[in-house]
Amino acid sequence: MPNRATVTLLGLLLAGEAEHMICLLINRGEISLELPCDLEFVMMALPERTVDSKFPAGFSDDSADREPVATNSEQKAIENKSLKASFLTSFFTSTLSIFERRSDSFSVAKKPIKSRSYGWTTAVRKVVTSGPMKRLQERILGTSRFDNLSMTSQIWFLGKCYKLSLEESSQCSDPVNSYAAFLDDFSSRIWITYRKGFEPIGESKFTCDVNWGCMIRSSQMLVAQALILHHLGRSWRKPLQKPYDLQYVEVLHLFGDSSTCAFSIHNLLQAGRGYGLAAGSWLGPYAICRTWETLARANKEQAEHDRCKESLPMVLYIVSGDKDGEQGGAPGVCIEVAARLCSDFSKGQLEWAPILLLVPLVLGLEKINPRYIPLLWETFTFPQSVGILGGKPGASTYIVGVQDEKALYLDPHEVQPAVDIRRDDSEADCTSYHCSTVRHLPFDMIDPSLAIGFYCRDKGDFEDFCSRASQLADSSNGAPLFTVVRNLQPAKPIPCHVRTHHTRGIGDTSVENLSDIGDQVHEDEWQIL
């Protein structure tokens, strides 16, 4: 007798009182889902909603009935679980977004519908908007309302602290730390989501990345934030009026959905073929980090021969403890490697260069080890933070901040039409690249496979990062996220008590003085996950 329970999706939805058991079975991998043909017909017949730029959606048929292709080694262990979670993610996101009533975001056109279809549509609407159904959605996708954020607890958002207060309206409140200031900062980050209607990817017929492109989109958001920091600075905010700054428009152009755009989904898939990437396949954080490394290298080589080609204006350093990023052990940020990468990047003309560090990690098996949660939380206090690629199994998001035990994120699981933003168009419609909806989920529900990003503008910024990272490793009780080492062999963690003439407030370490560090290695610094 098979040990896997098979249930009908409509029956699952109607059994609202069994939502906790359903989630438990899904997490254990003991449940498989079948979509009744009648319900499938209804879902395909549902009218697309008319939306504004802040809440674009609608479920695209471009990915319907497509079989995901073989995936890389990192994803095989969680393939079945991820596919189920991905299906549920797509179903809840698109179905609930169709029926949720948001007076400021969409309206449903009234059209004559046959009685049978109308009856099915009415039944589905009642199911997906019911209380049990919404609670089930929140268990799987996380909370999507920002009204649950505390108005008294501080928010750390990409290296900036917002100390909120219930007395914001008073004359004594600090507008810089107000909730409105936080929302302005949040909505200024580049939001990249599923798109439909773009040119086919390579030789495939995919013109939409619904159900499989969320990790790629999350990584694009992280790199876009690094580019915004590089070109416009941390204090930059989304323009309120046109014409826009062309530097901002050019950043958006780089992530357009066309093979002519340097960091498009098309070019990422092409660069990631060696890591198992293909249109329609799901991938993990390590594979996407290495894909960016490959793409950045290829673009730089092309730009050296053709000045019209765009390339990443910074060093990309993938900090990994082993060759495939899956075997555990705390990776080390190596000062020697960083210096060599900077020299290679500038062809020896500059001593240092801007660096984007990506640190792929596996912090547990099925769930994240609780001992790492405070360390992940602390990384958002680093001024070099550009967020985390993470989320739930099969549902990648771009985590950008923390409050108490909540992780705040930008969600790529919205379907928007593809847009073409020319790099010289200061009047372009850029509204679909920003979102003001703050979503969050409990930190302990994050998938243990993730990648942390840091951007260091110059050598001094890198030294400050090393100081903070060393102190964080020293406070980890023998289980650091990553360490800072002088060279690769042997690996020597840098103790945070080292000080130099640079006064930065947290465990200051200077690259010039790394030679003065002792050779001691703490055996408990390295942990097998």
SS3 content of the chain, % helix, strand, coil (to 5): 40, 15, 45
The conformation of residue 190, written as its DSSP 8-state character, comes to -
Catalytic residue among 62, 208, 214, 508: 214
| 184 among known catalytic residues | no
Catalytic residue among 62, 257, 411, 447: 411
Query: At 34, which helix (H) or strand (E)?
Result: strand 31-34
- Cα 518 to Cα 264: distance, rounded to the nearest angstrom: 45
For 141, list phi and psi in degrees, rounded to 5: -100, -15
Burial of 381 (0-12, 13-18, 19+ CB in 10 A): middle
Burial of 138 (0-12, 13-18, 19+ CB in 10 A): middle
- Cα 207 to Cα 197: distance, rounded to the nearest angstrom: 5
Spatial contact of 326 and 286, defined as CB atoms under 8 Å apart:
yes
Nearest Cα to Cα of residue 345 among 301, 305, 386 = 301
- Cα 164 to Cα 290: distance, rounded to the nearest angstrom: 38
- Cα 314 to Cα 87: distance, rounded to the nearest angstrom: 37
| 435 among known catalytic residues | no
- Give the Cα-Cα-Cα angle 64, 65, 66 (nearest 5 degrees): 95
What are the C-alpha distances in Å from 244 to residues 49, 225, 250, 306, 401? 29, 17, 10, 27, 27
| 161 among known catalytic residues | no
- Cα 59 to Cα 35: distance, rounded to the nearest angstrom: 16
- Cα 163 to Cα 144: distance, rounded to the nearest angstrom: 22
Residue 215, number of CB atoms within 10 A of its CB: 26
Catalytic residue among 253, 266, 413, 440: 413
- Cα 457 to Cα 244: distance, rounded to the nearest angstrom: 24
What are the C-alpha distances in Å from 414 to residues 47, 53, 181, 212, 259? 16, 11, 25, 12, 22
Residue 485: strand, helix, or coil: strand
The catalytic residue positions are 214, 411, 413
